Amino acid sequence: MVRIVLDAGHGGKDPGAVANGLQEKDITLAIVKHIGRILGEYEGIEVHYTRVDDRFLELEERAVIANKLKADFFLSVHINAGGGTGFESYIFNGNVSATTITYQNVIHAEIVKAVGNITDRGKKRANYAVLRETRMPALLTENLFIDNVNDAAKLKSEQFLLQIAHGHVEGMVKAFGLKKEKEKTKVTKPTKTQYDQEVDAAFEFLKQHGVVTQDRRNEPVTRAQMFLMLHRFAKNILKE
């Protein structure tokens, strides 16, 4: 079982970057919810969130949540600002495991592929608290620039946010070898033929008139049983 913690950047009194009628905290939460929902289609994975609504959390609190859960992976989703354009991802700039580097390589590539037609700003490292304080492989993604008019136009599209989410999910699917849950096969009762329906009706009729008591339609009948049924038929039905 792979345990993942999804972190929607900012929240509550901290809106994050704000521009072009958008707030970072709202976009990150929307993307994270999409990611969690899509991951729910896969088996062998347990998804947790640092927040699922508009609330404020200190950076250290986010790391504590992941550490207490003993998560296998921590993913923090953000929107960039500062006059650029495109997508970039970060891991801690200190000592990190080879696994962390592999996860960044795989997930970064899938996000760029899923979104398409954007500037790939590269795989980077930084001393961000959520990367430094978490005790498991951790990745932070910066998904376009909220203060870039063209990027902001894309971020206003729910379909585009869904593309970003799918990219994150596809990356994790490859990184962790996830498989889709098998669809449960619906067991449908076969449709009864006209013959079966007539047998049902005959049994109910004979049962009501005391000729038979049990439905043993597929069992052989002895002469004694046949004599008894004919006797009951004559006594209970023919005399009516």
More confident residue, 231 or 75: 75
List % helix, strand, coil for the chain (3-state, nearest 5): 45, 20, 35
Q: Catalytic residue positions?
A: 142
Predicted TM-score (pTM) of this structure: 0.77
96 burial level (CB within 10 Å; 0-12, 13-18, 19+): middle
- Integer Cα distance of 90 and 168 in angstroms: 14
Q: What is the pLDDT of residues 49-95, one digit of tens each?
A: 999 999 999 999 999 999 999 999 999 999 999 999 999 999 999 99
Local confidence band at 184 (pLDDT 50, 70, 90 cut-offs):
very low
Q: What is the pLDDT of residues 28-49, one digit of tens each?
A: 999 999 999 999 999 999 999 9
In the chain, the domains with their CATH numbers are 2-180 (3.40.630.40), 194-238 (no CATH)
Of the listed ranges 4-8, 32-36, 44-48, 236-240, the least confidently predicted one is 236-240
- Mean pLDDT score of the chain, rounded to an integer? 91
pLDDT of 198 > 80? The answer is no
Res 220: pLDDT? 78
Phi, psi torsion values for 238, nearest 5 degrees = -65, -25
Of the listed ranges 122-136, 154-168, 179-193, 207-221, the least confidently predicted one is 179-193
